[in-house]
Chains A and B, each alone.
Chain A
Amino acid sequence: MRWLFISLSGILSVALVVFLNTRIGKMPALGEFLSPQHGFWQNAEPAGYNFSEVHKLKGLKGKVNVYFDDRLVPHVYADDPTDAVYVQGFLHARFRLWQMEFQTHASAGRVSEVVGDVALNYDREQRRLGMTYGAEILLAELEKDPLTKSLCDAYTAGVNAYINTLSASELPIEYKLLGYEPEKWNNLKIALFVKSMSKMLAGNSNDFEFSSVQHLFSDEQMQLLFPSVPDSLQPIIPPGTDFLRPAIEPVMPASADTQYFKRSALSLIEEEDEPDEDNGSNNWVVGAKMTKNGAPILCNDPHLELSLPAIWYEMQMSGPSINVYGSSFPGIPGVVIGFNDSIAWGVTNSQRDMRDFYEIQFRDDSKKEYFYNGQWEKTKMRVEEIAIKNEAVFYDTVAYTVFGPVVYDHSFKNSLHENKAIAMRWKALDPSNEAKGFWLLNHANNYEEYVQAIKYIECPPQNFVFASKSGDIAIWQQGAFPARWDRQGLYIMPGYDSSYQWQGIIPQDENPHALNPEQGFLQSANQRPVDANYPYFIPGNYDLYRGITIHNRLVGKEGLTVDDMKNLQTDNYNSFAATIRPLLLNHLQTASLNNDAGRYYQIVKDWNLRNDVIEKGPVVFNLWFDSLESLIWNDELAALKMANKLPYERTLAEALLRDTAFSYIDNVNTPDKESLTALVTEAFLGIIPGLDSLNQQGKLEWGAYKNTTVYHILKKSMMPFSRSGLPIGGGQHIINATQHSHGASWRMVVEMGAETQAFVVYPGGQSGNPGSKYYDQFINTWAAGDYYRVWVYKKGDEAHPRARWKMEFLPTNN
């Protein structure tokens, strides 16, 4: 009998330990996870934590001191610039290791390894887009150049120096929750990070959407519905600028009319992970003549999907040969947006189309040959090995053609008929060395050096705004852009004929640029960079209204201050609504409104055109315009079953302002001819029930409706690590471009006077640890539209009141 008790108790004891040591589904092994000496409690950083440390590390050339200020921003001082990069790698890993590894895993299509087969389609698409293939090409370039080789090696050594110090109990909490461990960092991961930026910023071309819309409309109609140059464009390069005669004049293939502009077969490819079209940004610079202090002021706020841990890591890197301050990407060396002792720069996305698709005819299922220039050409095969958590490895064979990888074929998302497939030509898969460009820019002292530096930036192309202490202001739209014939690459192109290939790259000196313009300022906000006089066809996902607002708010101004610039960067004025609201109000039949609808009419009529948190007008206006859009387009586009490209809001707005009898107003499904007045009124009446329901839920105010949320990188599965319900206004088409989860990921205002004055903020914090008070420290400041004044460390500042902690790095041979 006693033995029975002993056995029972023994079995129970062992079973308990085994159970608590086992991961069950998404639940981590609880014994380890809860153990105060091993598990998550170790990530609960004391609020008064002392970050001062001494590290003796192999691979350093000399001593490096890092002074952390009260916001945990590191100010690195190194005698040798590669030592500064080494320590940058260490610090990125120290504060953001999980994020930088997860983002590079995601870029490489390795998410299934971590989360299981739910990510398999995502991973397959990443592989098929050639993300790792492109990263390998970039890696070869990075390592061919002695400068970038030494930078990448130092950065990687720094990251690994940190990983080597890491014990299991110190792992970032995401590793503990998901149940895996970090691997060693390498230079390929740096390249993978750059490729993830290329995808985010130059990976959206809408070719599939346009091709399916082209199924319904003639080429003439397509040009009307998707015009190249909007009427009210305020381009980046001041209008009237003379452009060079084009060095390349691309020739449209003779067969284009019958083979390309024909109405296409209905294409049903839906990309698995399409980058957000609103990835964009604002930047502007006002020259010395326009400012109160007589010094140029440069401003930049890049708009991205917001995340925690934040995409940016703020820091200063200084030493005898470098002194740069700004925001860096955990994952790559150098500073991406910032300033040094002589210049300041900022970036916005060019939005230009860097990617085209070609329809390929394979000879058979084997994908070994495809038809090209009258014969069967051999493909190159790349076998992608995708590890899946708790499952067998998945092998995916990707065929490479003269254009690039075949992304979609019979084994992946292809609904085309027999042996047809889609190959991709993407500039991001060509050799380039962007890391060199950014490093040179970090060191640039004047306009000439800035121009030399940015020439290395090929993809993703950016609008580099510039100001120097010597008083120059400039902007370049920099990238390696394909020279296209008129409307080349809007739709999927025939892949059997070399005449549809890109015929060249626009020479760098023909890229849109301006230096010290008469108007005294320069701005870019993802709009088309040039007016219609530019000699190339340059399609892209452009915005329109932010550029108009910025231009209108700067033109002719004098005595501008840093505070004026902060106010502009956080401005909620809605130029789009200002353009179209009068027309909507004029065409609304107010007599047909009951009391309830009349109340909403008053709200939108009295609205001050600002998307502030407490305004109700933006909700009514947005729903009203969306409803009108649906009424106008849905009848024509109903034949398309998938989510498609509606003509842009700006196109509809401009078409209606030009002509209230715009032909698409008519509903093709009714015998009557609908008028704009009828549609505007129908659209308004249609939104009343929705507005009533929002009103009952307390979501009629813009802030509550929009519910701005900064999600953790793992999105809805980690809501407690996210911040939602943030009280911030703004939105699409507005300078303060903050939407539900997308917007200003970094705000910077720099006055380039005798002593540089810089103000920055971003929606996150310096630490990537959700258990640290520095994880989301800046979010409330950001939401309130406030900034932090930057402290720039100078040699001798060791005892500066803002130098809160000191990390010392000493070289060692052991």
Chain B
Amino acid sequence: MKFFSVIIVTALLSLAAGFVFPWWAIAPVAFVIALVVPQKPGFAFLSAFLALAFLWGGLASYIDVKNKHILAGKLADLFFGKPSHYLLVVLTSLIGGLVAGFSALTASLLRAKKINA
């Protein structure tokens, strides 16, 4: 249950931060949550990763569908030589997930260290 709550809170706070702060605000958001909420490092990584993968992937998919895939198709063609809009949705999702995941992992390891000490 905690696992899912963390995913939802991370995603919502990241979304809110995105309206005000630069893109990398997702890293401190995931970091702080992992510092506050006790989770094993693996779960901390996974929950933050999934939170951002869902958030960025979800936002990207929503925008992409409303856009009828016009721009994502063109950019996939530009970057990968293949006009497949999925490529960019997946890449977006993956990048968001990794940034948040590693940030949360670090915080979680730090937290565990402090508690042990």
Contact = CB atoms under 8 A, between A and B. Distances in A.
Interface of A: 2-3, 5-6, 9-10, 12-13, 16-17, 20-21, 30-32, 34-41, 43-48, 173, 718-721, 770-773, 775
B106 A13 contact: yes
Interface residues on B, range: 35 or more
Given A13-B27, A35-B18, A38-B23, A20 B71 contact: no
A20 B95 contact: yes
**Interface SS, B side:** helix
B95 A45 contact: no
Contact of B67 (A17, A21, A38, A44): A44
Interface in B95-113: 95-96, 98-99, 102-103, 105-106, 109-110, 112-113
A771 B78 contact: no
Given A36-B56, A44-B63, A17 B24 contact: yes
B59 to A, nearest CB: 4
Interface in B1-35: 15, 18-19, 22-24, 27, 31
Contacts of B22: 32, 38
A47 B67 CA distance: 5
B67 to A, nearest CB: 4
Interface in B55-102: 56, 59-60, 63-64, 66-68, 70-75, 77-78, 83, 88, 91-92, 95-96, 98-99, 102
Task: Please name the 5 residue pairs, one residue from A and one from B, whose CB atoms are nearest each other, closest first.
Answer: A771-B71, A36-B59, A35-B23, A37-B18, A44-B67
A9 B70 contact: no
Contacts of B78: 718-721
Given A38-B18, A38-B22, 18 more contacts: A3-B113, A6-B106, A9-B106, A13-B99, A13-B106, A17-B24, A17-B103, A21-B24, A31-B24, A34-B88, A34-B92, A34-B96, A36-B60, A37-B59, A44-B66, A45-B67, A47-B67, A772-B70
Contacts of A3: 113
Contacts of A17: 24, 27, 99, 103
Contact of A9 (B56, B98, B99, B109): B109
Nearest to A769: B71
B56 A34 contact: yes
A719 B22 CA distance: 30
A173 B31 CA distance: 31
A417 B68 CA distance: 61
A21 to B, nearest CB: 6
22 contacts: A2-B112, A2-B113, A3-B113, A5-B109, A9-B102, A9-B109, A12-B102, A13-B105, A17-B99, A21-B24, A31-B99, A36-B60, A37-B15, A38-B22, A41-B72, A44-B66, A44-B71, A46-B63, A47-B68, A771-B74, A773-B70, A775-B70
Contacts of B18: 35-38
A771 B95 contact: no
B99 A20 contact: yes
A193 B71 CA distance: 29
Contacts, number: 121
Contacts of A40: 71, 75
A38 B56 CA distance: 11
Given A3-B113, A16-B102, A31 B95 contact: yes
A467 to B, nearest CB: 40
B106 A10 contact: yes
B102 A41 contact: no
Given A34-B56, A36-B63, A44-B67, A2 B74 contact: no
- Report which residue of B73, B103, B113 has the largest number of chain A beta carbons within 10 angstroms of its beta carbon: B103
A47 B102 contact: no
A6 B112 CA distance: 10
B26 to A, nearest CB: 8
B103 A13 contact: yes
A721 B60 CA distance: 20
Contacts of A5: 109
B68 to A, nearest CB: 5
Contacts of B112: 2
Contact of B116 (A2, A21, A30, A770): A2
A308 to B, nearest CB: 11
B79 to A, nearest CB: 8
A46 B83 contact: no
B83 A720 contact: yes
A30 B102 CA distance: 17
Given A13-B105, A36-B59, A44 B64 contact: yes
Nearest to B55: A36
Contacts of B23: 21, 31-32, 35, 37-39
A16 B99 contact: yes
B99 A46 contact: no
A21 B19 CA distance: 18
A6 B75 contact: no
B109 A6 contact: yes
A737 B6 CA distance: 63
Nearest to B73: A720
Contacts of A718: 78
B63 A41 contact: yes
A670 to B, nearest CB: 50
Nearest to B23: A35
A13 B27 CA distance: 8
A710 to B, nearest CB: 14
Contacts of B91: 34
Nearest to B117: A2
Given A17-B27, A21-B24, A37 B19 contact: yes
A259 B66 CA distance: 70
A2 B117 CA distance: 11
A465 B111 CA distance: 79
Contacts of A720: 73-75, 77-78, 83
A16 B59 CA distance: 22
Nearest to A3: B113
A41 B66 contact: no
A17 B29 CA distance: 13
A718 to B, nearest CB: 7
A6 to B, nearest CB: 5
Contacts of A41: 59-60, 63-64, 71-72, 92
Contacts of B66: 44, 46-48
B105 to A, nearest CB: 5
B76 to A, nearest CB: 8
A770 B99 CA distance: 29
B95 A46 contact: no
B15 to A, nearest CB: 8
B56 A773 contact: no
A753 B18 CA distance: 56
A44 B70 contact: yes
A13 B70 contact: no
Contacts of A32: 22-23
Contacts of B74: 720-721, 770-771
A13 B68 contact: no
A30 B79 CA distance: 12
Contact of B105 (A9, A43, A771): A9
Nearest to A770: B74
Contacts of B75: 40, 720
B108 to A, nearest CB: 9
- Report which residue of B96, B106, B112 has the largest number of chain A beta carbons within 10 angstroms of its beta carbon: B106
Given A41-B92, A720-B78, A16 B67 contact: no
A47 B105 CA distance: 39
B71 A6 contact: no
A41 B76 CA distance: 12
Contacts of B63: 36, 41, 44, 46
